[in-house]
């Protein structure tokens, strides 16, 4: 099959994939060999049915083409609580991708090359450089915005496509580079969190945030939106990468007490956030104010330990997080993940899964394993792909264009503590379906 024919076939397949997500009925004919593809749409009422005859089965005896996709994941360090579960998602997605492309008759196989970046900027860059030395042109991750910033120049210069499922810093929303993100930027989430704090009647907060790309940008945007609504936000950063945050928490308590703040807004990752909250639970000042958070600590298993969970419930802890629109594909994904691990998928798992799918289909649509060609193909694929994270359409900066947000908390259900969505942000307003705790 020529490269041009391959692009045509992949384009047809991708068009069908989004059809499943937005209400199109689709019938696929069984591949029978050859190299032609045709389609004939018909309409009945409001439903379009597309019947496709696809004959792309490879010739007998042809060798399987192997494409490697790099993964730089936080298997240790400050995002390791979710990073270890993301590794399971990555392997599941690669398996599913291989099954899908083989079912469509492509004689190709995708291979995951997974490296631990320890949630460190320099390690993420080393991993991307290692991938480049191996000829890998597509990398899923890294997770943190500071890591994405660290790899950006190298990726742009060497034409390596980076697809982060969880980087959200607005400062990285840059057009026409090699950085793509299957989640929306935090410019909007900061506005949602400010609206949540205002909804709860809080007028003065201390924003306690990571001194990195993610935390700095989020804190500044939160302060802007919260003070536009009449509130007061006092910014206090903390150093990242520490083994214990007791001293930083003591300094936070002094700031809360001296300023008369009614609440703390925590902008953290999972292991640092859990450590901070564990110290706050035993602090006489911090245990008596409200606590709010972004998505960074969502999914950290430490929050479900009884002693910490009871504290979070007592202070009516609430947070915001990117939310996937209700869809059957996410339900199926979440069910499979829970059957496989015994746990619900942590934050951004569905975004990671879809990042793998976009990478694979973009490679096929490009028709060549070339970074520049894959970069050009990726937005076209994303515009026509609907997966567990919803419609993956990208904006002019390569970020997910349409992002919803949920309000989450910790609840006790049947004697066990769990993460629970208790509301949504829609139409510019917060709506709670239940109360925290």
pLDDT, tens digit, for every residue of 382-432? 999 999 999 999 999 999 998 889 999 999 988 899 999 999 998 889 999
- Smallest CA-to-CA distance from 84 within 62, 110, 114, 41 is with 114
Here the tokens at position 117 are: 């970046």
User: CB-based contacts of 217: which residues, under 8 Å, 6+ apart?
Assistant: 145, 169, 170, 171, 186
Per-residue confidence (pLDDT) for residue 403, from 0 to 100 = 86
Whole-number Cα distances in Å, 300 to 176, 237, 241, 344? 34, 21, 17, 12
The whole-angstrom separation of Cα 269 and Cα 300 is 9
The reported pLDDT for the residue numbered 420 is 94
Q: Which two tokens stand for residue 63?
A: 């060798």
DSSP string, 300-342: -GGGGSHHHHHHHHHTT-EEEEEEPPP-HHHHHHHHHHHHHHS
- What H or E segment, with its residue span, contains residue 291? strand 290-293
pLDDT (0 to 100) of residue 178 = 98
pLDDT in tens, 38-70: 333 333 333 333 333 333 444 445 799 999 999
pLDDT exceeds 50 at position 18: no
Domains of the chain: 3-55 (no CATH), 66-184+326-403 (3.40.50.2300), 187-323+405-432 (3.40.50.2300)
Which pLDDT belongs to residue 3?
53
Helix (H, G, I), strand (E, B) or coil at 356: helix
Q: 3-class DSSP state for residue 227?
A: helix
Task: Please tell me the least confidently modeled range out of 45-54, 98-107, 215-224.
Answer: 45-54
Q: For the chain, give the number of residues.
A: 437
The pTM for the full model equals 0.76
CB 231 within 8 A of CB 289: no
Structure tokens at 186: 């935090």
Average pLDDT over residues 333-362: 95
Cβ neighbour number for residue 351 with a 10 Å cutoff: 27
Query: At 324, is the pLDDT very low, low, confident or very high (cuts 50, 70, 90)?
Result: confident
Residue with tokens 């900027």: 121
Q: Are 206 and 259 in contact (CB under 8 A)?
A: yes
With 80 as the cut, is the pLDDT of residue 378 above it? yes
Listed range (244-253, 255-264, 394-403) with the worst mean pLDDT: 394-403
269-292 pLDDT, tens digit each: 999 999 999 999 999 999 999 999
> First-to-last CA distance in the chain?
59
pLDDT of residue 8: 54
**Interatomic CA distance for residues 220 and 240, integer angstroms:** 18
Compute the average pLDDT of residues 309-333: 93
Radius of gyration of the chain (CA): 23
CA distance 217 to 206: 15
**Residue 260 bridge partners (DSSP):** none
Query: Are 360 and 52 spatial neighbours (Cβ–Cβ below 8 Å)?
Result: no
3 state SS of 109: strand
- Per-residue pLDDT, 6: 55
C-alpha–C-alpha distance, residues 48 and 345, integer Å: 33
């Amino acid at each position: 099959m020529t490269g041009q024919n391959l692009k045509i076939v992949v384009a047809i397949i991708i068009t069908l994939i989004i059809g499943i997500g937005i209400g199109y009925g689709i019938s696929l004919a069984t591949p029978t060999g050859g190299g032609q593809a045709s389609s004939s749409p018909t309409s009945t009422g409001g439903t379009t049915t597309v019947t496709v005859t696809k004959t792309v089965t490879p010739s007998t005896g042809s060798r399987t083409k192997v494409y490697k996709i790099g993964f730089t994941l936080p298997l240790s360090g400050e995002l390791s609580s979710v990073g270890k579960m993301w590794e399971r998602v990555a392997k599941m997605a690669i398996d599913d991708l291989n099954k899908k492309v083989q079912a469509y008759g492509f004689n190709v196989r995708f291979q995951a090359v997974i490296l631990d970046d320890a949630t460190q900027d320099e390690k993420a860059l080393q991993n991307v450089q290692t991938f480049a030395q191996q000829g890998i042109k597509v990398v899923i991750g890294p997770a943190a915005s500071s890591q994405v910033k660290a790899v950006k120049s190298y990726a742009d210069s060497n034409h390596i496509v980076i697809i982060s499922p969880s980087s959200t810093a607005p400062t990285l929303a840059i057009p026409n580079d090699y950085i793509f993100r299957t989640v929306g930027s935090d410019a909007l989430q900061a506005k949602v969190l400010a609206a949540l704090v205002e909804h709860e009647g809080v007028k003065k907060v201390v924003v306690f945030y990571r001194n990195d790309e993610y935390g700095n940008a989020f804190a500044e945007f939160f302060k802007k939106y919260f003070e536009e609504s009449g509130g007061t936000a006092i910014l206090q950063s903390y150093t990242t990468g520490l083994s214990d945050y007791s001293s930083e928490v003591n300094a936070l308590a002094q700031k809360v007490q001296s300023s008369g703040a009614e609440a703390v807004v925590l902008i953290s990752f999972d292991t640092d956030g859990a450590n901070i909250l564990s110290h706050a639970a035993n602090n006489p000042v911090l245990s008596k104010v409200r606590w709010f958070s972004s998505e960074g600590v969502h999914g950290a298993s430490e929050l479900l330990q009884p002693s910490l969970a009871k504290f979070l419930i007592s202070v009516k802890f609430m947070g915001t997080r990117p939310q996937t629109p209700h869809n059957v594909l996410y339900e199926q994904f979440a069910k499979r993940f829970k059957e496989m691990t015994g746990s619900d998928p942590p934050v951004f798992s569905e975004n990671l899964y879809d990042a793998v799918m976009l990478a694979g289909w973009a490679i096929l649509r490009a028709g060549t394993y070339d970074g520049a060609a894959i970069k050009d193909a990726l937005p076209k694929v994303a515009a026509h792909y609907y997966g567990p994270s919803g419609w993956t359409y990208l904006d002019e900066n390569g970020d997910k264009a349409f992002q919803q947000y949920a309000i989450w908390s910790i609840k006790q259900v049947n004697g066990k503590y769990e993460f629970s969505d208790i509301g949504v942000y829609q139409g510019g307003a917060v709506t709670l379906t239940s109360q925290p705790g």
